[in-house]
Structure 1
Amino acid sequence: VYTGSWLSDAKIKFSKSNCAAYLLANDGGSLVSGSPIRQEYLETSLSWINDGKIEDYMAKHQHDKKADELWQYFQDVIAWVRKTFPNYRREMNSVQWGELYNQFKDKKLDATKLETEIKKLMQDEDVTKKSGIYPYVLTRQEKYLSIRAFTEKMKREAYERQRGVCPWCKKEKKEKQKWDIEEMEADHITPWHGGGKTIAENCQMLCKEHNRTKSGI
């Protein structure tokens, strides 16, 4: 649809085997997943530069002679990643770096401090999505980490221990305090970010309403 000299130039840079984008992103450990010849490098770069609106960007630049803006942007992203996270780990291959670059490129970041925290989180068994550590250390959003969930056994133990009573309902002296196990959800008594682990002793069952209020859902 968007054929022309811009697309031809973009394909030379992003879509050939051993193209410039591939060589750059893999020099010192792979930072982009997928394959250039399946257009995945080009697609990723277009998504990053224009907040996911790939076609809008292609339509706007279709008649440009060269894809220099896109190529420069890609180089800037990779350089920023290498500088901010110099210690390469294979998990870095599946991070949406462009999104983080767009948000944090002008912030003053301490690479040594970030590495210390990354190292600690890599060893935390409750963090089940290790690639999510990179967006987490910048955004502080726990959703990226996929914190380990309580097992059915842990939930049942907590439910029996509480005799089916939601501690928040009890605290607020609600009329209904006792619930069936299916009407309740597991919660960390001490939250993960406060040092709480996903272990039986740190599990409490809350009614769905209170668990969602507490989680800010």
Structure 2
Amino acid sequence: MVTATFRFYEELNDFLARERRRREFSCRCARMATTKHMIEALGVPHTEVELVLLNGESVGFDTLLRDGDRVAVFPKFEALDITPLLRVRERALRETRFIADAHLGGLAHLLRMTGFDTLYDNGFRDEEIERIAGAQGRIVLTRDLELLKRRGVTHGCYVHALRSAQQLREVFDRLDLARGARPFTRCLECNTPLREIDKSLVESALPARVRERYQRFSTCDTCRRVFWEGSHWQRMRAMVDELLAQAQG
């Protein structure tokens, strides 16, 4: 057995036992334990970790621990580019795309509303989410710690909030999404990018009041739904504007 000293930073402490939060603590490790093994054994999914410093040097998840090692573990950095130090995964994701598990349908809907490519199917099993996330470079959103600990999941985010609106604010804050938001550019049902369509092409299918009041329309080429800036759109617009103002302020 070897003994190493650990210190976790910021929101990673939420995954630790209370007596280990926001302080250094020593822990006995198996002789061939890696940084990844011990980080997850202590309760922190590897997908939540962006940087591991071993005795002050950036290392990967497969580094073996030795007696007396000091391990500092950091979450994702929103305001600082640590690409030169990145060792825990092959690369950072340059395109922000998500896949949400079965319990986060409301969050998936709201992320689509803000323009983010978000896959969701309440029939997805954990192994399917793992496979799709790896193949398509997607960030896994879940409240299931075991899903985030799967070897094939390299980018993930544990969602703490319970209500979808609070979940959206949490993900926006943690992943600094405001700059990439493109509200109302994606179908809320199909996740397909929307395109503008001339009113004359859809006019015959519109309710009479909509024909009279609205001139701008968009459509989804997958489900063929037609969208306009009605009262529901206005309520969503207000929600998005408040969210972006909070993120930028």
For the criterion TM > 0.5, the same-fold answer is no
Higher percent of residues as helix: 1
Higher radius of gyration, 1 or 2: 1
Higher percent of residues as strand: 2
Q: TM-score, normalised by structure 1?
A: 0.30
Q: TM-score, normalised by structure 2?
A: 0.28
